[in-house]
Amino acid sequence: MSPAIRTASSEQLSAFIANTCSKSSHLLHVLHELQHRFLHISPEAVIEVASFLDLPPSQVESAVEFYSFFSTVPHGRFDILLSNCTSCGYTANGQDLLQLLCDRLHVLTGKTRDDGLVSVDETSCIGMCDHGASLLVNGRPVTGLDAVKIMRIAELIETGTPFENWPAEWFDISDSIRKIGLLLSEDITAGNGLRESLMRGIDGTLEEITQSGLRGRGGAGFSTGMKWKFCAEAEGSAHYVICNADEGEPGTFKDRILLQSHADAIFEGMTTCAYAIGAELGFLYLRGEYRYLSPHLEAVLARRRVQGLLGSSILGRSGFNFDIEIVVGAGAYICGEESALIESLEGKRGVPRNRPPFPVTHGYLGQPTVLNNVETFVAAAHIAQNGSAWFRTTGTMKSPGSKLLSVSGDCAYPGIYEYPFGVSIKQVLDDCGAEDVQAVQIGGPAGTLIGRSGYKRIIGFEDLSTGGSFMVFGRKRDLLDIIVNFSRFFAHESCGFCTPCRVGTTLLKNAMNKIAKGQGTQYDLDEMERIGTLIKRRSHCGLGQTAANPILNGLQRFPQIFRQRLARGDFEPSFDLDAALEEARQITHRDDAAAHLE
């Protein structure tokens, strides 16, 4: 790494910020630019950003500390993050790709090499599970990793080869849509849904969305029509629309595909919502891992402005003014939680707010805000264009419409499958070519692990509600390893705000590691149950409230996978107590038998 980069002066920093950003730039945008150019964000950079954006330095500093894509110590010129998702994983044919990469590049995980050329670390699922093991290099995804590709990547890095000379196909992320249904079978015609909505009027539009029975596709399943109505009725100096494209649930990638190939429908849904609630500004909060999609999304927004579908007097309707900004997140799963996302949009740490009040009355900048998932807005655009009766032709009474599933793991055809709600797990497994299945995880790590006896269960709010993750685990998988992976995920992603979650997720992770090492006892299982129940009851937000699910669920449905790894004794400490006393023995100059534990 050039010393000039490490020691950029205040003048250099300030000139760089002024050249690449504007006074209205979002804090995260400025920090992304700095991280990219200077490979870290120095204390001097914090001061310059604060002065440029007119923010308190403490706010900038705490944002830098919070988001995992920013760093106060320099990263390598090639900055690699390998996904440790349990579904696509960083192993290929049993080989640990992370270790292989670190060995080839002579770098330790989580460190930057002394010459500043490269840094390597692991990260949570990057939303590429349909393409196998994946990594981000300087924020750009490279998928389909195997040992050969990893060795080639190491060579290209070692020779300092610029990305233009890397194989272009490595950066091509295809759609992998395997089954189309109500939403994917035909795209909307840009503007058609909006024209229909203008004809229905505001009340008519709200009624149409409510009548469709559309429920949020982000997981919780709240009625979209009700949400829009509550927001429309709420008093405020301004109303806002936010699209949650933070898609961080491991094993989920359906929003990525909608963003890539159905952006018009997303923006049409957001604009329909803006019309219904009286908003003039909207945001699409894009997860940092999907930053590579930003130019494409900006291009679609630019085209829609030219088409008169965004901006002032949309479709010639005086007073109907609305535009959309894209804000790119920075590697914090918790920012998918709606109130944390709003905090992040406001340029703060993504710490969930107390609820109530809910965003519909007190959202962005304390004003009434509708926040919906990407798929929800796509469905709303289709409903605006085709009507609620059309939407209700598929699905079940309690779950009208269709659901996009992100299918990954041990199956022949991973990818996106759109089904009418009510489809059975068995049907999905048959379609994706899954054989010899041991279990299926529905709804990501916080969801449900289901064995053979549950394959008749259906996807729908009346049974298994899901944000869309459908992970298949074959017989060769060790289910305990999967639960260990999930417990690490939650400990890593806990935002640290409240004690039950911050401490509890780490205790659960440690206990799971102990059991995986064969050192656990019945005492540890009882403790995990006790701590898990406590985290569930006492945590501040949905992350903590569901973080113990994989363990509690596993203990209940698959007790044998824990029991068969238990050590014999009733209690086994998770560390070597005698070794821990070594320092005390040295200080007291004792090494006799009485100074050792038996």
Ligand X SMILES: Cc1cc2nc3c(=O)[nH]c(=O)nc-3n(C[C@H](O)[C@H](O)[C@H](O)COP(=O)(O)O)c2cc1C
Q: Which of 74, 218, 288, 350 binds ligand X (CB under 6 A)?
A: 218
Q: What is the distance of C-alpha 22 from the center of its chain?
A: 28
What are the structure tokens assigned to 447, written together? 């969801």
Nearer to ligand X, 71 or 469 (CB): 469
How many Å apart are CA 38 and CA 185, to the nearest integer? 45
Nearer to ligand SF4, 253 or 490 (CB): 490
The interaxial angle of helices 10-20 and 27-38, nearest 10 deg, is 120
Q: What is the distance of C-alpha 414 from the center of its chain?
A: 19
How many Å apart are CA 6 and CA 498, to the nearest integer? 35
Q: Does 372 bind ligand X (CB under 6 A)?
A: yes
Burial label, 584 (beta-carbon count in 10 A; 0-12, 13-18, 19+): exposed
Say how many C-beta atoms besides its own lie within 10 A of residue 511's C-beta: 22
How many Å apart are CA 45 and CA 324, to the nearest integer? 29
Count of residues of this chain found to bind ligand SF4 when the rule CB under 6 A is applied: 14
Contacted entry of ligand X, ligand SF4, none for residue 104, CB cut-off 5 to 8 Å set by kind:
none
Longest dimension (CA), the chain: 91
Q: For 127, what's the count of Cα atoms within 13 Å in the CB-facing half-sphere?
A: 30
Nearer to ligand SF4, 240 or 497 (CB): 497
Q: Does 219 bind ligand X (CB under 6 A)?
A: yes
Nearer to ligand X, 135 or 258 (CB): 258
3-class state of residue 421 by DSSP: coil
Q: Does 62 bind ligand SF4 (CB under 6 A)?
A: no
Contacted entry of ligand X, ligand SF4, none for residue 544, CB cut-off 5 to 8 Å set by kind:
ligand SF4
How many Å apart are CA 267 and CA 309, to the nearest integer? 9
* Residue 278 to residues 135, 181, 311, 488, Cα–Cα distance (Å): 41, 31, 14, 43
Bridge partners, residue 282, by sequence:
241, 324
Min. distance of Cβ 152 from ligand X in angstroms? 33
Q: Does 548 bind ligand SF4 (CB under 6 A)?
A: no
Contacted entry of ligand X, ligand SF4, none for residue 216, CB cut-off 5 to 8 Å set by kind:
ligand X
Q: Does 27 bind ligand X (CB under 6 A)?
A: no
SS3 content of the chain, % helix, strand, coil (to 5): 45, 15, 40
Q: Which of 121, 246, 268, 289 binds ligand X (CB under 6 A)?
A: 246
Min. distance of Cβ 223 from ligand X in angstroms? 9
* Contact range with ligand X by CB under 6 A, out of 6-14, 179-187, 410-418, 537-545: 537-545
3-class state of residue 340 by DSSP: helix
Min. distance of Cβ 474 from ligand X in angstroms? 27
How many Å apart are CA 18 and CA 37, to the nearest integer? 14
* Contact range with ligand X by CB under 6 A, out of 123-131, 509-517, 541-549, 562-570: 541-549
Contacted entry of ligand X, ligand SF4, none for residue 277, CB cut-off 5 to 8 Å set by kind:
none
Per-residue binding letters, 518-547, with ligand SF4 (x by CB under 6 A): ---------------------xxx-xx---
Contacted entry of ligand X, ligand SF4, none for residue 554, CB cut-off 5 to 8 Å set by kind:
none
φ, ψ for residue 28 (rounded to 5)?
Answer: -60, -35
Min. distance of Cβ 335 from ligand X in angstroms? 8
What is the residue whose two structure tokens read 């950029």?
8
Nearer to ligand SF4, 100 or 495 (CB): 495
Q: Does 338 bind ligand X (CB under 6 A)?
A: yes
Per-residue binding letters, 468-497, with ligand SF4 (x by CB under 6 A): --------------------------xxxx
How many Å apart are CA 175 and CA 157, to the nearest integer? 28
Q: What is the distance of C-alpha 330 from the center of its chain?
A: 10
* Residue 470 to residues 6, 332, 404, 486, 548, Cα–Cα distance (Å): 44, 22, 10, 15, 19
561, 574 contact by CB (below 8 A): no
Min. distance of Cβ 352 from ligand X in angstroms? 8
Q: Does 376 bind ligand X (CB under 6 A)?
A: yes
Q: Does 565 bind ligand SF4 (CB under 6 A)?
A: no
Q: Does 334 bind ligand X (CB under 6 A)?
A: yes
Q: For 492, what's the count of Cα atoms within 13 Å in the CB-facing half-sphere?
A: 20
Min. distance of Cβ 329 from ligand X in angstroms? 10
How many Å apart are CA 372 and CA 274, to the nearest integer? 12
Nearer to ligand SF4, 49 or 528 (CB): 528
Contacted entry of ligand X, ligand SF4, none for residue 539, CB cut-off 5 to 8 Å set by kind:
ligand SF4
The residues binding ligand X (CB under 6 A) are: 216-220, 222, 244, 246-249, 334, 336-338, 371-373, 376, 541-543
The residues binding ligand SF4 (CB under 6 A) are: 334, 352, 494-498, 501-502, 539-541, 543-544
